[in-house]
Amino acid sequence: MPTFALRRPHGGGYSAAMLDIHLIREKPDFVRERLATRGGGDEGKINEVLRADGERRKLETALQHLNAERRRLSKEIGAKRAASGATADFEARVREIGDEIVDLNKRTSAAEEEQRNLLLEIANLPHESVPIGKDPSANRVVRSWGEKPRLTDPADHVALGAKLKLFDLERAAKLSGSGFICFTDAGARLERALINFMIELHVREHGYIEISPPFLVRRDCMIGTSQLPKFEADMYGLEENQLFLTPTAEVPLTNLYRDEILNIVDLPKKFVAYTPCFRREAGAAGRETRGIIRVHQFDKVELVKITTSCWVCIIASLSSAPAIWVSGQPRLTTSKCGRQARTHISKFRVARILGTSKPAGCTFDIKTLKGKIGFATR
């Protein structure tokens, strides 16, 4: 039966690195070219990875030769002892080899750690269909639904939320400081109803399995989905940073089958989960920090698929996620640039999601509300 591993590197065990060292080793120019399209400078790290890889392989080869020599000498010592021959010189050499092996093991482990850390800092290769650009102006509209409303003097979400009493930012700050939200009344019910609505839609209509995961995850899980080490400053860590508050449900969902080998016939596995998400948002000052766009805690429903075909999976997810907004009949435009998809929503009716009759004043316009579609590729 064909199997699918999550994921085994050259030496066995789990690999959290996004790029396989074999790909970098065999096609370094291709990897540099694709990474350069991201604009993050990761292409400059490839030479360092190759240097560390070469050093590690050289040390491993030397270690193999020393082990082979020690085994050979041990056999000779046994044969000489059987023949009552002198073995002192051979035994002295075996002890020397033992010391050399200890030293080489330390150097090999250090080289492996260096290579691993370098690989963990390198992002995934963008798909060739992704447009190259330095800012949102390079985005390409993939598809859109509904009729675009013509807004006259639109209010932002802070003014609308205060007017409709959907949240209370002042009391949220009183409770927890800046960067937190306290939803109130219809806003609290809307938040809860949206979570239930999204989960039910994906379970009933798209065949996802609902998961209710722990909200604390181990460090290995965070490394497994690339939150660490690159974004560690943005995470809330406990137990000397060996346990973390979930920054997204993607982390526990993606790690459900970590270190396991799955039968291909059992794929794809489709999961949906809600978790609160916790992020420090270090260095985010001045970038959409007003209101509820960039906060330390927010709710999210995440979609994750484990499959053998990543790109086909993404296309399928693009069919599932927008169904949320089509069901609510808003205006939706999905665009893509780099690795993030953005949705822009307007004319959203609270009463429709709450399942109640339309309360007075509960229709409001959102000029732009950015949200990440519930799949991730890194």
The pLDDT tens digits for 120-150 are 999 889 888 888 888 888 888 877 777 888 8
CA distances from 352 to 83, 327, 356, 361 (A): 93, 10, 7, 13
pLDDT at res. 327: 56
pLDDT at 177: 93
Decide: 217 and 111 in contact? Cβ < 8 Å. Answer: no
Segments making up each domain of the chain, as ranges = 3-120, 139-364
Whether 3-120 and 139-364 share one fold: the answer is no
**Is the domain defined by 139-364 classed in CATH 3.40.50.1370?**
no
Closest CA to 305 of 331, 272, 260: 272
pLDDT digit string (tens) for 261-303?
A: 999 999 989 999 999 999 997 655 545 567 888 899 999 999 9
pLDDT of residue 313: 66
Torsion (CA) 162, 164, 166, 168 in degrees, nearest 10:
30
Say whether domain 3-120 belongs to CATH 3.30.830.10. Answer: no
pLDDT at 15: 56
Q: Please write the tens of the pLDDT for every residue from 250-271.
A: 999 999 999 899 999 999 899 9
